[in-house]
Amino acid sequence: MKQISADIAIIGAGPAGLAAAITAGEHGLEAVVFEKSAVAGGTANMGMGPFGVESRIQKERMVPITKEEAFKMFMDYVHWQADAHLIHDYFWKSGETIDWLEDMGVEFAEPAKWYPTSMQTWHVVLPEGGGKPGPRAASAMTKVMYERAQELGVQFYMSTPAIKLIREDDYVCGLIARSEDEEYEVTADAVIIATGGFGDNPEMIKQYIGLTYGKDISHTRVPGLDGDGIKMAWEVGAGKSRMDMESGLSSLISGPKSGFTGLHVFRQPSCLLVNSESMRVMDESILENGAISKNVAMLQKGHTLYNILCDSIVEDYRRNGVDYPSGVFRFNPAEGFHEAFLKAQEMYPESLFMAESIEELAELMGLDPQQLRKTVDEYNTSCDNHFDDLYCKERRYLRPVQGRIFYGLKMILGGYGSLGGIKINYKFEVITEDHEVIQGLYAIGTDACDIYAGTYLYHLPGNTMGFAINGGRLAVEHILEYFAELEAAGEEKEQ
């Protein structure tokens, strides 16, 4: 077993771990990073950018939101079911963190919105080599961060997962890591867990959240994110924090592999949504916020909803553009919709349906034809009267479901990964169920991100990546305070 000694040992080289490594290097600390994958960046390599408020780029573009406004929005949204001190420190750090990333060479395209009424807090990264931002744009940011950490002398051990924490009395003082051909015993004054959660572990999702992958939840599974860090923390006494999926209303055909851009038409407010009883259950304009739409689905049998469109609505969107443009995909998704639908339907016949009548569509989707016809007729009457007396959908979104072709989409929960698992305090110190601090152990990023009270906050986009990066920086700053306290205590002992 190879012996290694460092000031800080970091488990995971995603955005949280990279931010912690850079901050440690900037303060002259010796840091080592152990990463299960062969590359750095983690889930951020699939994303677009972090949250920030009062950054330079926001000020230059006259984005008016302040830290105080964002903080109040957040805390009101979660009904103060999050550590307010932690959220304060994160938000107050976030704008300066965007500047910090820019100073090391990260380029941002814009402070963007997720949907029309959200805030411009999403600092979308400009892809390497230029071009339009889109999925995976943030990989350009993690590449810069990885290179910066190496410049500062941080040692990375890739394809070398940590397998166990070392605890002596009330302190965590190191870890065991193992590669294919080497085992390491690492001694460190502080250990930071940043392993990215359990989004690739269907068993943990079932056990701790009660959802079955592939049945009532579909999400982006990043290989290797199977809860290693969370389980290691629990083994040394960490408390369990609230656990959830960073989820929204989606479908089994979501994700880059499907190639069906027409899904964005099904997310428009003029759709008609029904449950398995063929009953309308919501104001469809809520679809702009997938996390809140998810809450509606959670109340339904099988956590399932059925989305219905007709060719007249699709044609209107093709000619005039959609109501909700995407902050991710910059095009009109109604262009070529029918042809794309047919192609996708061949791949996903259990999720996509097409018929020439509502009754036939109901049969294909396994719904009651008479009840669905009744629901559609009642809805169309509301559209003709320009007034939705049931769920108060705005008049401008009331388009009758009538035409020659009817399209259906089975919708379930979808997500980008897990949230939470390790209980922490505002210093990112890991704590027990009784809120006792486990000295020397810290958790950041998704492993500790239980801040949304069950409903992800799309209104302030970029939050999970922002929490990861800012948490990495803040954790190391608190570790410096911890080291200073240890040094002072040692001097007192000597005296």
Dihedral pair phi/psi, residue 65, rounded to 5°: -65, 140
Confidence (pLDDT) at 330: 73
**pTM for the whole thing?**
0.94
CA atoms within 13 A on the CB side of 97: 32
Contact assessment for residue 90 and residue 467, using Cβ atoms and an 8 Å cutoff: yes
Average pLDDT, the chain: 94
In tens, the pLDDT along 93-144 reads 999 999 999 999 999 999 999 888 899 999 999 998 877 888 889 999 999 9
- Residue 178's pLDDT is 97
Give the three-class secondary structure for 37.
Answer: coil
**How many CB atoms sit inside 10 A of residue 234's CB?**
16
Q: Give the model's pLDDT for residue 255.
A: 54
Is residue 259 pLDDT above 90, yes or no?
Answer: no
pLDDT digits (tens, 9 = 90+) for 197-218: 999 999 999 999 999 988 888 8
Answer whether residue 495 shows pLDDT above 70. Answer: no
AA identity, residue 412:
I
Q: Which residues in 12-95 belong to E strands, given as ranges? A: 31-34
**Confidence tier at 440 by pLDDT (50, 70, 90):** very high
DSSP track, 210-228: ---BTTTEEE---TT-SSH
- The residue ranges of every structural domain in the chain are 2-243+420-494, 247-412
CA dihedral 250, 255, 259, 262 (to 10 degrees): 20
pLDDT at residue 462, as a whole number: 95
pLDDT surpasses 80 at 176? yes
- Nearest of 403, 437, 133 to residue 272 by alpha carbon: 403
The residue behind tokens 């807090």 is 121
| Complete DSSP assignment for 144-174 | HHHHHHHHTT-EEETT--EEEEEEETTEEEE
Q: Give the architecture-level CATH label for domain 2-243+420-494.
A: 3-Layer(bba) Sandwich (3.50)
Q: What confidence category does residue 274 fall into, taking pLDDT thresholds of 50, 70 and 90?
A: very high
Angle between helices 463-494 and 84-103 (to 10 degrees): 100
Beta bridge partners of 155: 32
Return the residue matching tokens 């009744």.
374
Highest mean pLDDT among 167-171, 280-284, 346-350, 416-420: 280-284
**Per residue in 374-403, pLDDT tens?**
999 999 999 999 999 999 999 999 999 999
13-63 tens-digit pLDDT: 999 999 999 999 999 999 999 999 999 999 999 899 999 999 999 999 999
Other C-beta atoms lying within 10 Å of the C-beta of residue 255: 17
Write the single-letter amino acid at 370.
Answer: Q
> In this predicted structure, what is the pLDDT of residue 258?
60
Structure tokens belonging to residue 397:
């979104």
- Six-digit token pair at 356? 């020439």
DSSP codes of every residue in 23-85:
HHHHTT--EEEE-SSSSS-GGGGGS---B-SS-HHHHHTT----HHHHHHHHHHHTTT-S-HH
Say how far apart CA 449 and CA 464 lie, in whole Å: 7
Q: Which fold has domain 247-412?
A: Flavocytochrome C3; Chain A, domain 1 (3.90.700)
427 pLDDT above the threshold of 70: yes
Q: If you ran DSSP here, which 8-state letter would residue 240 be given?
A: B
Phi-psi map region of 303: left, alpha, beta (phi>0 left; psi -120 to 50 alpha): left
Q: Taking residues 62-82, what's their average pLDDT?
A: 97
Evaluate whether 2-243+420-494 and 247-412 have a shared fold.
no
